Structure 1
Amino acid sequence: MTTQPEAIAGVADVDCSETRALVTGSTSGIGRAAALALGRLGADVIVHGRDQEAGAAVVNELDALGSDGQFVRADFADPDAVRELAATVRRTTDGLDLLINNAGGFFRSGRLTDLGVEYTFHVNHLSPYLLTAELLDHLTAGSRIVTTASAAHQGTSLDLSRVQTLDEYSGMWAYSHSKLANILFSSELARRLDAADRDVVSNSIHPGAIPGSGFSRFLPGPIPRVLEALDGLPIVTSVAEGAAEILVPALSPRTATISGRYFSDQRPTQPSAPAQGTYAAQRLWNASADLLGIATPLAEGAE
């Protein structure tokens, strides 16, 4: 059985030699695996994370593959760092063909960022929203945007009253709510890109339950040890399989014109009912711009 994500995704024959990609959260886990797969296919890859040493290691691996890799450090709790990441992408490339919004995490304890926004919501949703907004004018025709969501979105509905408070904080609820926001953001982005007649597609994905991704380190008590012990069993997803979930909407010829969908098991799947709400997606889109203090992206003709 192959362990290469590009083979699992059925895109091993895709030529990415003219592709410029940004993969956020790519110093470990599925982001790293996706970045290296893109490098093997010929893409130039911008690696993002917070760990300079880990980022340099991924870039070295990309260089060994013949890919032009670079690392940009950015803390996703800091809007200025996200803006600088986008500015670096614009400065070092003449266009972006693939934006993979993969960075995020599960955080046990509640805290507010400097914007007064709950940390999980800010890192997992607001920063990908801001980064995408900052790069909209740099995306090439035919480019693709993939946002890593999760099946954990099920069981929550959009509640913007809880994103600026730590009252009744629950790490699991905050994570699930942020993943719901990822799906709503991705579908609303697709709708607005279409309304603006932009040749860009946007989709979200569920990567699976992945012990080897490092995600489990955020979970409480003995859960991380239990999940790591399950690694390799057929009931869980490997890092390579999780990365393959990203590569299907990112590279597959059969998904080139699909937009506004949620992918799971390498195919478009229906998310929960709250994740399909057009009104909720529009509310989230406008509220996110307000929280960041920016003009509403893709505002014309979208209401």
Structure 2
Amino acid sequence: MTHPPEKRAGVEETDLTGTTALVTGSTSGIGRGAALALGRLGADVVVHGRDDAAGAELVDELTASGSDARFVRADFSDVGAVRGLADEVRAETDELDLLVNNAGGFFREARLTGLGVEYTFHVNHLSPYLLTAELLDHLAPEARVVTTASDAHRGVTLDLDSVASIEDYSGWTAYQRSKLANVQFAFELAKRLSDRDSKVTSNALHPGAIPGSGFTRFLPTPLSQGAKLLNAVPGVTSVTDGAAALVYLAISDRVDGVSGRYFSKQRPATPSQAARYPEAQRRLWQRSAELLGIDEPLTVD
């Protein structure tokens, strides 16, 4: 019998009654598993995705478990849609205890968004950055922000001039750079919150290599076919394990007060040197605000 994510995370006795969570990218994969786990533990859940039918189905499942759930559709390549998501969260909830920045993907096609920014970087990093910025004043005093990154961030650096170009595009490299940005963002957010004596925490995680998550449909054909075979290999991370990693960081008392850390599944890990470089974290934060045309959140004096 397969244990649910909350059991695998060791939090199955946690009572989340009165807690509100936003889980982006929660209509499929590990986001869906995490949303259901939070709902079973009593949390009210804001479901996000682009598929109305999948969103409605998940809301029905959450409601059946006793969760007050709602679905908000938002395309993460659209700045207005992300702002609309934040507006609806503010309008429909008193405050947010959990912000799980999980939405993202791997994209083969080279293209720019309406901002003139490479699509993968925009969807995987700029939109979580914007959403978090828009919701900072709506976070509960001890809220947790959890960002899904990946060990794919290792082995690359982030040239912030290149994010406005699709010259010599590589889908895999673009994905790696966006995941590096996720780690740098989580660390810089933690630092800036700490500087304000805030008890809100920010951490990033690698949920594991998850063939069953749907991610592999975006890979080049040989890699995609090989990844499908991994479903039958013992030890490969399952969707349930990936969801458990999200749930662990979101609610486990074992990480109370922990911030500015990177986790591999449910264990603390050391990210790449490029991810740990404070100046790179600061530049990414500032450049992201410039690309979005917004005031820099949590400005440093």
**TM > 0.5 between the two?**
yes
Shift of 1:283: 0.2
- The 1-side partners of 2:128 and 2:218 are apart by 20
Question: What is the match of residue 77 of structure 1?
Answer: 77
Identity of aligned residues (%): 62
Please list, as runs of the form range in 1=range in 2, the aligned pairs for 1:150-165 lying within 5 A after superposition: 150-165=150-165
- 1:184 is displaced (CA, Å) by 0.1
Match of 2:182 in 1: 182
1:5 matched residue in structure 2: 5
Contact map agreement 1:2 1:8 (CA 8 A) in 2? no
Instruction: Give the letter aligned to residue 198 of structure 1.
Output: S
**TM-score with structure 2 setting the length:** 0.98
Q: Distance in 2 between matches of 1:147 and 1:224?
A: 25
8 Å CA contact retained: 1:196, 1:300? no
Task: Write the deviation string for residues 174-225 of structure 1: whole angstroms up to 9, x where unpaired.
Answer: 0000000000000000000011221200000001010111000110113223
Question: Does the 8 Å CA contact 2:49/2:73 hold for their aligned counterparts?
Answer: yes
Q: Which moved more, 1:27-36 or 1:235-244?
A: 235-244
**Partner amino acid for 2:103?**
A
Aligned amino acid, residue 84 of structure 2:
E
Deviation at 1:130? 0.0
Contact between 1:49 and 1:73, CA under 8 Å: does it hold in 2? yes
1:284 matched to which residue of 2? Answer: 284
Task: Find the counterpart in structure 2 of residue 264 from structure 1.
Answer: 264
CA distance in 2 between counterparts of 1:232 and 1:278 reads 41
Match in the other structure for 2:253:
253
Whole-angstrom CA distance in 1 between matches of 2:240 and 2:80: 32
Query: Which letter does structure 2 place at the counterpart of 1:275?
Result: A
Q: SS of the residue aligned with 2:97?
A: strand
Between the aligned partners of 2:55 and 2:232, the Cα distance in structure 1 is 26
Shift of 1:231: 1.0
How far, CA to CA, are the matches of 1:265 and 1:226 in structure 2? Answer: 22
| Cα 1:232/1:142, change in 2 over 3 Å | farther
State the match for 1:230 in structure 2.
230
Instruction: Please say if residues 146 and 246 of structure 2, whose CA atoms lie closer than 8 Å, have aligned partners that are also in contact.
Output: yes
Code of the residue aligned with 2:251 in structure 1: it is L
What root-mean-square deviation, in Å, do the aligned CA atoms of Structure 1 and Structure 2 show?
Answer: 0.9
1:67 aligns with 2:98: no
Alignment of 1:67-216 (within 5 A): 67-216=67-216
Of residues 136-145 and 245-254 in structure 1, the stretch that sits farther from structure 2 once superposed is 245-254
Partner of 2:32: helix, strand, or coil?
helix
SS of the counterpart of 1:144? strand
Runs of 4+ aligned structure 1 residues displaced above 4 Å come to none
CA distance in 2, matches of 1:199, 1:86: 21
2:129 maps to a residue whose letter is Y
Residue 37 of structure 2: aligned partner: 37
Letter in 1 for 2:3: T
- After alignment, is 113-122 or 257-266 more displaced? 257-266
Q: 1:254 & 1:235 partners in 2: Cα distance?
A: 24
Instruction: Please name the residue that 1:51 is paired with.
Output: 51
CA distance in structure 2 between the partners assigned to 1:150 and 1:226 by the alignment: 19
| TM-score, length basis structure 1 | 0.98
- Measure the CA separation in 1 of the matches of 2:281 and 2:230: 36
Counterpart-to-counterpart distance in 2, 1:291 and 1:199: 28
Is contact 2:242–2:265 with CA below 8 Å preserved after alignment?
no
The one-letter code sitting in structure 1 at the alignment partner of 2:208 is G
Residue identity opposite 2:159 in structure 1: D
Q: Distance in 2 between matches of 1:225 and 1:28?
A: 20
Contact 2:16 2:41 in 1 (8 A): yes
Deviation readout 1:24-68 (Å, 9 max, x if unpaired)? 000000000000000110000000000000100100110110111
